Amino acid sequence: MKDKKQQTIEQFDAWAKGYEEGLWGHYFSKSNKYIYSLLMRELPQNADLLDVGCGTGGLLALAAEHFRGNIIGLDLSSEMIRFAQEKNKDKEVQFIHADVEEADLRDQQFNAIICMNSFHHYQDHKCVVKKMIHHLKRGGVFILLDPITDNYLRKIWVNLLNNMFKETDVKYFSKKELNNMMIDEGFRIKGQKPFMYFALLSVYEKEL
């Protein structure tokens, strides 16, 4: 029997070609544009950025038009990385095919780390959060976008997602659970708002 991580790899490898199409493509495009506008407001032009679970690199294609720092995308799926490299072949963006829970980023630090729509897939969420705070500069921000389970409608939605994608063992969190986890690891909450109702967009800041 395949383990959870291998199932996730195969799922996203198969999805990569049509990732930016249809309803989900519209959602990802909207996510990319919104977070890009947030980065533009929050960060200097020389900011270093890391997109964890970068998919086909849509956000970084936007970011590379403005930011001049070190821009890196990381994803577990080799096919997602292949499409991301093709999309960004004329831009100063580096892509790494790796599992964030095991990736060796050495001593690199970033002004912002972004995690969009992939946090629920990780096996050891606290390990990922520890890694994020380790690789953020002082005052750096961790931008997290993921569905939440705060009320009945949102719980129905994540159950639909589980059934739609045959994901029986992913972990979605409530707003309170996310915030407690982040605060425990040394973040403070800089800002939060619902995104298209079913997801929560959070900006966590590494304490100075």
- pLDDT, residue 2, reads 55
**Closest Cα to residue 113, out of 174, 203, 188, 179?**
203
Q: Mean pLDDT of all residues in the chain? A: 94
Tens of pLDDT, residues 50-96: 999 999 999 999 999 999 999 999 999 999 999 999 999 999 999 99
Query: Residue 157 CB: number of other CB atoms within 10 A?
Result: 18
pTM: 0.94
CB atoms within 10 A of CB 206: 22
Convert the pLDDT of each residue in 112-121 to its tens digit: 999 999 999 9
- Residue ranges and CATH numbers for the domains of the chain are 4-206 (3.40.50.150)
Torsion of CA 138, 144, 150, 153, to 10 degrees: 170
Quick check: helix, strand or coil at residue 12?
A: helix
Half-sphere CA count of 104, side-chain side, radius 13 A = 1
**Res 106: pLDDT:** 85
Q: Which of 108, 112, 127 is nearest to 51 (CA)?
A: 112
Confidence (pLDDT) at 34: 97
Q: Where are the alpha helices (DSSP H) in the chain?
A: 4-15, 22-42, 58-63, 78-87, 125-134, 152-164, 175-184
Direct distance between the N- and C-terminal alpha carbons of the chain, in angstroms, rounded to an integer: 46
- 2 compared with 157, residue with greater pLDDT: 157
Say whether pLDDT at 134 is over 70.
Answer: yes
The tokens describing 87, both together, are: 């999309």
* Least confident window among 6-15, 27-36, 155-164, 181-190: 6-15
DSSP element (H, E) containing 74: strand 71-75
Per-residue pLDDT at 5: 82
129-136 average pLDDT score: 95
